[in-house]
Amino acid sequence: MNEFVGRAGLPAGGRSVCTDLDLGSLQSRILLLIAFLLFFYLSMLFVSLVATNFHVGFGFWQPPLTAIAMTIGVVSLAAVLAAAFAFARFSFGYLVGFHLFAVMAGYFWVNAFGTLGYDRPAALISAIASIVLFLAPALLITQPIAVPFKLPQAVLELLPVGILGLGAIVFASAALGEFHLVGLEDIYQYRGALNHSRLFWYFAGNFNGALFPFAFACFLARKRWMLLLLLCAVELLSYPTTLSKISLLVAFLLVFIAVLSAYLEPRAVVILSLLVPAAVGSLAHLVDTGVTRQVFGLLGLRLLAVPALSLEHYYVFFSEHPLTYFCQVSLLKAVMSCPYSEQLGDVMSNWFRLGSMNASSFAIEGVASVGVLFAPVSALACGLVVALGNRLSAGLPAQFVLVSAAAIPPVLTNISLTTTLGTNGLGLLLLLWAVTPGSHFAAERGLHRSPTSAV
């Protein structure tokens, strides 16, 4: 990794500093994971105290000693599962798996301290089995898969430039008809009135999830800084035309991941990608001003807690309502009957009155589609899909995989896997990885490292 980011030629003193920052040892990862769990559950505690409208509360109905014992049990359970990330090699599955592990770690807390009535023990067992069966293939299946066709070097040099040009044309054209430069608190006031075509929304989803991060990673690897800045400008231009939070998030997220990955080992970057928001959000809540409350609402509540809270609401709703058996998938909905005419997020919104409640594959492909009993089987299937991503990206440098896939985890924690594959870029990203030759980066750096070689 040091060689990939260009530190091999540093003076002896410089190399020693970078080695200290590498956080590549087992002990360092364990410490990072412990820090993450502490800040994450501190954040969940704060959510339980201030966001009781989401049907979760700490110590409101349990005796104090019982609440403390339950907290220890929840943290211990999460710590046992987190140990997998101390020992596993880096891969696409490591990146996605850690974020979805955080969803389940949050659900363990909500299962203990939620206030809604349903079969909590059965749901907890199902949740534990689901995350274990998801992580097994996502972390362990990393062998390369042979792809007969690879893009020529000249085409791969031009591809990110083409992505930049295409994005600029599409979003600039869209801005001529719809351009609203408003704050995040006002986007819902305008977004419902946007009159974009379905094809535009499909492009925007795939651009944010796959094309923009892939081009960003290509420019970063080749040190094409001006093109990188232009690409970020195009991505930010997409916000006033789509009024999508992901349009703002992705550009800053990729810069954040790129900076961290220039100095730190990939697995440390993955852990820090959630540890930093958990720590900042918790500290912001302690300061408790108008601005810091917004920071905590964005990081502590929306980013970290809502995916877990949504999962519990799916457990509650589908304990009393018909399952979908995947009829929510557009292709299947056209040929099979479905008990719900609206999207599941809207169904949940109408029932719980908490706004649109989209959720991860654990909720959509699992609880909603096949119920508590078979949700772990669905999770295993989703893990195998992620494992395919491991195999297709196995010949590419770890930093390139990390950056080009950085937009996928925040999408997968809030949207189903089937939707992410088709509408939000994951399927396109897998295709791009499959046809990208590792030699493209070896020619630039003088080495050829795969994600699974980062030990």
The rounded distance, in Å, linking the Cα atoms of 219 and 212 is 11
Which pLDDT belongs to residue 446? 39
Radius of gyration of the chain (CA): 22
- The arithmetic mean of pLDDT across residues 347-352, rounded, is 92
Contact 221, 273 (CB under 8 A): no
pLDDT at 403 over 90: yes
| Neighbouring C-alpha atoms within 13 Å toward the C-beta of 174 | 25
Residue whose entry in the numeric block shows the structure tokens 């999770």 = 379
Asked whether the predicted pLDDT for residue 18 surpasses 70, the reply is no
Q: Answer yes or no: is pLDDT of 4 > 90.
A: no
Q: Alpha carbon 394 to chain centroid distance?
A: 20
Dist CA 110 CA 105 (whole Å): 9
Q: Number of C-alpha atoms within 13 angstroms, CB side, residue 440? A: 24
pLDDT for 448 = 37
Specify the DSSP element, H or E, that contains 321.
none
The whole-number pLDDT of residue 59 equals: 67
Predicted confidence (pLDDT) at residue 365 exceeds the cutoff of 90 = yes
pLDDT of residue 63: 80
The tens digit of pLDDT for each residue in 273-297 reads 999 999 999 999 999 888 889 899 9
Question: Which of 259, 281, 243, 309 has its CA nearest to residue 102?
Answer: 309
178: left (phi over 0), alpha (psi -120 to 50) or beta: beta
User: What one-character DSSP code corresponds to residue 446?
Assistant: S
Contact 48, 304 (CB under 8 A): no
Would the pLDDT of 272 be above 60?
A: yes
Nearest-angstrom CA–CA distance, 282 and 452: 33
Instruction: Specify whether the backbone of 292 is left (phi greater than 0), alpha (psi in -120 to 50) or beta.
Output: alpha
Q: 52-76 pLDDT, tens per residue?
A: 889 998 866 678 888 899 999 999 9
Q: Lowest mean pLDDT of 164-178, 183-197, 402-416, name the range.
A: 183-197
Q: How many CB atoms lie within 10 A of CB 273?
A: 22
pLDDT in the model for residue 113: 94
Distant-in-sequence, close-in-space partners of 361: CB < 8 Å, separation ≥ 6: 100, 378, 379, 382, 412, 416, 417, 418
Q: Residue 27's pLDDT is what?
A: 94
Domain ranges across the chain: 23-147+261-453
- Best mean pLDDT range from 42-56, 183-197, 361-375: 361-375
- Give the range among 245-254, 424-433, 440-449 with minimum mean pLDDT: 440-449
pLDDT tens digit sequence for 83-110:
999 999 999 999 999 999 999 999 999 9
| pLDDT given at position 450 | 47
Q: Is the pLDDT of residue 11 over 50?
A: no
**Which tens digits make up the pLDDT trace of 293-335?**
989 999 999 999 999 999 999 999 999 999 999 998 888 887 8
